[in-house]
Amino acid sequence: MAKITLSNLAHSYFPKPTSEEDWALKEMNHVWNDGEAYALLGASGCGKSTLLNIISGLLEPSEGQILFGDTDVTHMTTTERNIAQVFQFPVVYDTMTVRENLAFPLKNRGAPADYIRQRVQTIGQMIGMEVELDHRARGLTADAKQKISLGRGMVREDVNAILFDEPLTVIDPHMKWALRTQLKELHQQFGHTMIYVTHDQTEALTFADKVVVMYDGRVVQMGTPEELFETPEHTFVGYFIGSPGMNVLRARVEGRRAALDNGEIGLAGAYPALDGKVEIGVRPEFVRLTDAPDGLPVNVRRVEDVGRHKIVRADYFGSPINVIVPEGHEIGADMTRVLFDPAHVNVYQNDWRVAPTGQEAA
Ligand code: ADP
Ligand code: MG
């Protein structure tokens, strides 16, 4: 196994890209640590499959290099890179049995028959198909075929990395949870580097040690679920992760204060002078509904009870502000103001987070 380095990597599907939009992947530099479980998260069309296929060797990048350890693998095939990949839709050999399908990658590499039998049994159990091992793949449901594809991806223990491209799309919801748990266990057991593409934040946050968030051909943040929650580096991360996502308001930031359209809030640190589009972001978890006179006045539009807590949908001079009210907290009719926890207010310039220059007390 090896760490994976992407060096000045960029990709366009056009032979002669002219504008920024022609690049499916904008130039990026990243290191993916050996043995970690990554989720590659982003909306449809942001470049997840393109990046995954470049890492696996199905696609050659227009620019830049991919290194496995110190070896440049940019021009090597998937087989040479020793990678297993599972796709969104099943890829199985219809004329073979489930067992033969699962054994295929091991047979191909000349593994001993005893080992193959044992390993196929283990994997068959993991994907919940041990009783169907001798059925032909033809005639099985799409769901079952996809489980075979997953099993084939996991069967080899000696791969450099296992890549999954939205592998649970055709799997029924109940089985999804079970398979995701299996993948996580497999990772803990064997410590393969795993990259799991999904557009579902719950899937990403439960599977991965590190979540890699993509937006419009760029990796906008690579971090632990906690980092993505506490300090979204880009407003997209704030919106996309969280339920509801981060509140974002236009602001003018000066030192330790942020002036909003109709009010002012305190910040936990001091900021340099900022130009361009300046915004503050605060997650609904760090907004408090209050009757205190120093709060920002809001119109409460709707209260949603989602069980664990309530979501208050409010409006501040035309800008939506969502508040999460913990279980057991009363929402009084006179609570028409909100307060932000300054330690959890982030400042953004042209959508990218700006770090405060000083955290010292005012
Ligand atoms: P995702 O997997 O995040 O949905 P993709 O990597 O498939 O995104 O696509 C990224 C962008 O590249 C999209 O704009 C898509 O239309 C474009 N694209 C993907 N595959 C091809 C292709 N084979 N030829 C041309 N454009 C493509
Ligand atoms: Mg895709």
Question: Is residue 41 lining ligand 1, measured as CB closer than 6 Å?
Answer: no
- Which residues fall within 8 angstroms of residue 177, CB to CB, at 6 or more apart? none
Residues spanned by the domain of 311: 247-354
**Can you tell me which residue has the tokens 């054994």?**
103
pLDDT < 70 stretches in the chain:
1, 358-362
Question: Is residue 53 lining ligand 1, measured as CB closer than 6 Å?
Answer: no
Instruction: State the distance from the centre of ligand 1 to the C-alpha of 354, rounded, in angstroms.
Output: 31
Q: Are residues 254 and 225 in the same domain?
A: no
Question: Is residue 14 lining ligand 1, measured as CB closer than 6 Å?
Answer: no
| Ligand 1 atom at minimal distance to the Cα of residue 197 | 2
If one counts the domains in the chain, the total is: 2
Dihedral over alpha carbons 69, 72, 77, 82 (to 10 degrees): -10
Ligand 2 (ion): which residues have CB within 5 A? 49
Q: Are residues 217 and 316 in the same domain?
A: no
Which residue in 254, 237, 257, 255 sits closest to 246, CA to CA?
237
Residue 359 maps to a domain: no
Residue 360 maps to a domain: no
Q: Are residues 230 and 310 in the same domain?
A: no
Q: Are residues 57 and 197 in the same domain?
A: yes
pLDDT score recorded for residue 361:
45
pLDDT score recorded for residue 362:
42
Whole-angstrom distance, CA of residue 217 vs CA of residue 202: 22
Instruction: State the distance from the centre of ligand 2 to the C-alpha of 88, rounded, in angstroms.
Output: 8
Rounded to two decimals, the pTM is: 0.92
Q: Are residues 85 and 231 in the same domain?
A: yes
Instruction: State the distance from the centre of ligand 2 to the C-alpha of 148, rounded, in angstroms.
Output: 20
pLDDT score recorded for residue 1:
64
Domain boundary residue, one of 240, 266, 288: 240
Tokens for 191?
A: 């410590």
pLDDT score recorded for residue 97:
97
Whole-angstrom distance, CA of residue 12 vs CA of residue 321: 38
Whole-angstrom distance, CA of residue 229 vs CA of residue 227: 5
The helix (H) or strand (E) run that includes residue 31 is strand 23-32
Residue 349 maps to a domain: yes
Burial of 88 (0-12, 13-18, 19+ CB in 10 A): middle
Domain boundary residue, one of 180, 214, 240: 240
